[in-house]
Amino acid sequence: MKLCRNSVALVGAVLISWVLYGPVGSHSEPLGMNWGDISRQPLPPEIVVRMLKDNGITRVKLFDADYNTLKALVGSGIEVMVAAPNDLLSRLASSEKAAHEWVKENVTRYTFPGGVNIKYVAVGNEPFLIAYNGTYQNVTFPALKNIQKALSDAGYAGKIFATVPFNADVLCGAQVPECIVPSGGVFRPDIAELMASITASLNQTGAPFCLNIYPFLSLALSQGFPLDYAFFGNSSLVDSGSNAVYHNVFDASYDTLVQALTRAGFPNMHIIIGEVGWPTDGDGHATIAYAQKFNNQVMTHLSEKKGTPLRPNQEFDVYLFGLLDENLKSIDPGSFERHWGIFYYDGQPKYPLDFSGQGLSNVFPKAAVDVKYLEKKYCVVNVNAIIDPDLLAKNVDYACQRTDCSALQPGGSCYILDDNIKASYAFNNYYQFNYQDMYACNFDGLAIITSTNPSPSDTQCQFQIGLNYRPKTASGVGNSATTFTAFVLVILVSSFLHF
């Protein structure tokens, strides 16, 4: 697809994942967090829930309705958005019975007194991506209506709300040159009527409307995109249609959505930002320093409650993306996909982040506690072996096809290291992925096990110790919300301009 130029480069290159609730100014929601677990050795849900509570995170957005995750949330008081993934949409659309069964199994099951505080049900995830070629276009709205009816029939009307998280490519389109600025925002022409119907249905039930924003992608994938505009810097871009001044892509994207909703007849829908964040590895712009800067600026921006030119002096509702790094996510969009976490894979914070928005520079999020690691052992290249470069490369390829080598890719934290250290990094990840099985550190005699941490002291590149957990479900190998988002951007970014 081709998105509109300028500020929808700010919407499109960003690809927003926002959630809209009720009337403007009627909500004052605490900070939320996206929790994905596409990892080889994911932290047990009970440890993650404790970490959320320790950090004062009282809202969480999930990408499925995993039993173990929801069981850990029982009694926590944390507000939850559960999800029915895209592969269920056809079944949910074709059968009211299937929708009732899904609600019974994934909602009612947990909503006993003192159970899980489920507030939203996400029906699918970004189903109208142009890259899906209309796969879910005819089933999303019927699935939504069936889930809405099932929730109502179960007694949840006005208590638990069904929504559809959309990608920002539901906005504008190449046929709408007015979308060069936020004041020209509309829904994409080929789905405008369908979007209006869905939005009307959401509005009727009081449900949110969801859409995702990633300024990082605008910067990383659009040559010449102004650095300050991706952050909350000193850029000043004027909307020629309204004369409003925008200082960052965040506000411009938000107002493009506001205008699209207004033109569709829903000017007062409350907007929640379903995903916003910054990765820390796998790309030249994906650094800990930039992530710290961006996420702290987001927190400050939210705390100031200045709103946007189209909705001044209002509070934002936000779900940060994401909680933990996920080392099994697809890297087709870019190696950064596995590094969106505010915390590393083991629940250790990466950088200071002041959730209060007061801008304190030395406040770290609280780490996960009682984490169980494997032994302090590493698999590295045996420097005493006779090393054939071709054989070494072959074994590195073998390891990287079966583990996470995203940090070794161009722009990654380990990319600049010498070949032996990079090979050691790949070997060690494979060894840890296989729970330190001695046979997973052979590599044709080129590797050896050591208890000495081989991490270089002068780089961000760090050798990891695996976690001593085995996934209880298949949820750790599913697909995440932002994977395809970034993939679409890789394809489309060349068409994005700035206003």
The angle formed by the CA atoms of residues 239, 130 and 226, to the nearest 5 degrees, is 35
Backbone dihedral angles phi then psi of residue 370, each to the nearest 5 degrees: 60, 35
Tokens representing 177 are 């040159």
Peptide bond into 322 cis (omega under 30): yes
User: Mapping DSSP to helix (H, G, I), strand (E, B) and coil, where does residue 201 land?
Assistant: helix
Residue among 178, 175, 186, 249 nearest 9 (CA) = 249
Question: What is the number of other CB atoms lying within 10 angstroms of the CB of residue 28?
Answer: 9
Q: Catalytic site residue 275?
A: yes
Rounded to an integer, what distance in angstroms lies between the CA atom of residue 225 and that of residue 497?
8
The beta strand positions in 343-453, using DSSP E, are: 378-381, 447-450
CA distance 396 to 391: 9
CA dihedral sign of residues 7, 8, 9, 10: positive
In 10 A of CB 309, how many CB atoms? Answer: 19
Look up tokens 């800990």; give the residue.
288
What distance in Å separates the CA atoms of residue 203 and residue 185, rounded to the nearest whole number? 19
Contact predicate 168/15, CB 8 Å: yes
Q: Nearest CA to 171 among 275, 63, 255, 249? A: 255
Tell me if 18 sits within 8 A of 210, measured CB to CB: yes
**What's the rounded Cα separation, in Å, for the pair 280 and 290?**
8
CA dist 141 and 155 (Å) reads 21
Choosing from 105, 178, 275, 337, the catalytic residue is: 275
Catalytic-residue membership of 126: yes
Residue among 465, 143, 480, 160 at smallest CA distance from 330: 480
Burial of 6 (0-12, 13-18, 19+ CB in 10 A): buried
What Å distances lie between residue 225 and 130, 175, 355, 493, CA to CA? 23, 23, 28, 11
Q: Which among 254, 244, 407 is positioned nearest to 327, based on CA atoms?
A: 407
Report how far residue 348's alpha carbon sits from residue 330's, in angstroms, rounded to the nearest whole number: 23
Active-site annotation holder among 79, 126, 326, 337: 126
Positions marked catalytic: 126, 275
